[in-house]
Amino acid sequence: MQSLSQFLASDVSSASLQEVLLVTTQTCIEISSALKKGSLAGILGMAGNENVQGEEQKKLDVISNNMLKGALLASPAIRAIASEEEDDIVPANTDGEYLIAFDPLDGSSNIDINSMVGTIFSIYRQVGSEPATEADFLQPGKNQVAAGYVLYGPSTMLVFTTGHGVNMFTLDVEQGEFILTRENVKVDPETQEFAINMSNQRFWSDAMQNYVNDLVAGKDGSRGKNFNMRWVAAMVGDVHRILCRGGIFIYPWDKKDPNKPGKLRLMYEANPMGMLLEQAGGKAFTHTERILDIQPEGIHQRVAVVLGAANEVDKCLSY
């Protein structure tokens, strides 16, 4: 029974990075407690604001963002933060070694139906001179020094990588600490399960429509095997399923809004999940390139995402 702090002491040589991971995950334990109170704490429903991406914020989006922001800005190891719920980066400590980008509550449409949500984080080393600017965050995902998520499901789980494989921890609620429960997770290169929002089918490219039609046709089509479909409406839940039992997750480009190359955010969703999948032996691409190679142009940039079982990602891209 190895606790997170014991694990970090052996897995992460930098004391500052250990601190960033501990502050982030400790705050997620507090977010988990807030989520468990639900309606009793009067924290469900809309906050009455829009975030920078024009999406309506839920009260818990704002509460989770403020909790992470407050804790991370107080950490001497943090130079600056970027959040899906903040318009701009927020500088912290001029000596801080690390930058952190996070989605404080991914899948927020699930909050009011008491279904799975999560916090996703992505950590980079500060590269520029102080004070931190948005340009410091615009590093390709392959520069991430750590990435992961906390999933608030039937149990609260932490899944992260520091570049040496993917490990899973389960929250011991009595002790208030994460305990290592699954080591060196690997995703099988083959799969018979896919995740995509099928209601967008008519907006996809012809190639994506053909690929998904072939999955649905199963043994009666060209694939020679049947496929099952799952959709959590929270990427964090779909990625967790893939890390646990395999699969492919796709949020493709669609023609609903030709100005958006995809729905998901590069810095808060695609990069951290891309690093996790690659560390687990899977792949993470847009429809044309490896996600971790993308040179970001802005902190709120969106991309198309195809990630999961290596051979199935290759198959999808071959269309």
Which residues does the annotation place in the binding site for Mg(2+)? 84, 103, 105-106, 269
Quote the longest CA-to-CA distance of the chain. Answer: 61
Considering the complex, state which of residue 9 and residue 198 has its C-beta at the smaller distance from ligand AFP: 198
Tell me how long the chain is.
319
Considering the complex, state which of residue 1 and residue 113 has its C-beta at the smaller distance from ligand AFP: 113
Considering the complex, state which of residue 8 and residue 120 has its C-beta at the smaller distance from ligand AFP: 120
Binding residues for substrate, by number, are 106-109, 197, 263
Query: What span, in angstroms and rounded, lies between the C-alpha atoms of 215 and 243?
Result: 20
According to DSSP H, which parts of the chain are helical?
4-11, 15-37, 59-73, 134-137, 206-217, 235-245, 271-279, 310-318
- The four Cα atoms 157, 158, 159, 165 give a dihedral, to 10 degrees, of -120
Least CB distance from residue 231 to ligand AFP, whole Å?
Answer: 7
Number of other residues whose CB lies within 10 A of the CB of residue 41: 14
For 259-285, b where at least 16 C-beta lie within 10 A, e where not — what string? eebbbbbbbbbbbbbbbbbbbbbbbbb
Least CB distance from residue 233 to ligand AFP, whole Å?
Answer: 4
Nearest to 44 by CA among 56, 30, 29, 61: 61
Query: What span, in angstroms and rounded, lies between the C-alpha atoms of 142 and 271?
Result: 8
CA quadruple 287, 219, 242, 52: dihedral sign: positive
Least CB distance from residue 25 to ligand AFP, whole Å?
Answer: 20
Asked if the peptide bond before residue 131 counts as cis, ω within 30 degrees of 0, the response is: yes
Contact footprint for ligand AFP (CB under 6 A): 55, 106-109, 197, 233-235, 251, 263-264
Least CB distance from residue 71 to ligand AFP, whole Å?
Answer: 20
Residue nearest to ligand AFP (CB): 235
Binding residues, by number, are 84, 103, 105-109, 197, 263, 269
Least CB distance from residue 68 to ligand AFP, whole Å?
Answer: 14
| Residue 155, helix vs strand vs coil | coil
Considering the complex, state which of residue 185 and residue 233 has its C-beta at the smaller distance from ligand AFP: 233
Angle formed by the axes of helices 4-11 and 15-37, nearest 10°: 150
Considering the complex, state which of residue 80 and residue 117 has its C-beta at the smaller distance from ligand AFP: 117
Considering the complex, state which of residue 69 and residue 263 has its C-beta at the smaller distance from ligand AFP: 263
Least CB distance from residue 44 to ligand AFP, whole Å?
Answer: 14
